[in-house]
């Protein structure tokens, strides 16, 4: 398997011969599968220790050994990596069942924004 990704633009330019019953354009599943297997993650050089291990195989890429991942306490809690503290954190979900909230940025910080019913 080549390290280069398959470029589908050329496939899309090809047309079947006149009078053929073949579909007008075809992309082979094998080419798609091979491209997916070649995908590589861009890993941060900043995180030490690394929050996870990346494993590459001929079948594709896996993330394993996720380190120190906290559990959320409630449905809707959000898990995120806080690079400045070098650890996973839980951003708690809104507990107000009577009001609709959306996740957004408030004054440069992640937060829940109250909204009217949509």
In degrees, to the nearest 5, what angle opens at C-alpha 117 toward C-alphas 116 and 118? 110
Kindly report, residue by residue over 2-19, the tens digit of the pLDDT: 578 888 888 888 888 888
Kindly report, residue by residue over 97-109, the tens digit of the pLDDT: 777 888 888 888 8
Kindly report, residue by residue over 18-59, the tens digit of the pLDDT: 888 877 777 889 998 888 888 777 776 766 667 788 888 877
Sequence ranges of the domains in the chain: 1-38, 78-115
Query: What count of other Cβ atoms lies within 10 Å of the Cβ of residue 106?
Result: 9
| Average pLDDT taken over every residue of the chain | 80
Q: Which of 113, 111, 115 is nearest to 91 (CA)?
A: 111
Query: What count of other Cβ atoms lies within 10 Å of the Cβ of residue 51?
Result: 19
Q: Are 34 and 6 in contact (CB under 8 A)?
A: yes
Q: Are 67 and 52 in contact (CB under 8 A)?
A: yes
């Amino acid at each position: 398997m080549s390290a280069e990704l398959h470029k589908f633009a050329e496939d899309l330019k090809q047309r079947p011969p006149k009078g053929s019953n073949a579909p007008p354009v075809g992309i082979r599943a094998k080419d798609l599968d091979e491209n997916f297997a070649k995908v590589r993650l861009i890993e941060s050089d900043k995180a030490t220790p690394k929050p996870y291990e990346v494993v590459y195989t001929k079948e594709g890429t896996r993330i394993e050994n996720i380190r120190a991942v906290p559990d959320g306490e409630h449905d809707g809690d959000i898990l995120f990596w806080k690079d400045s503290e070098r650890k996973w954190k839980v951003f708690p979900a809104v507990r107000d069942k009577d009001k609709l909230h959306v996740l957004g940025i408030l004054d440069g910080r992640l937060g829940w924004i109250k909204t009217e019913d949509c």
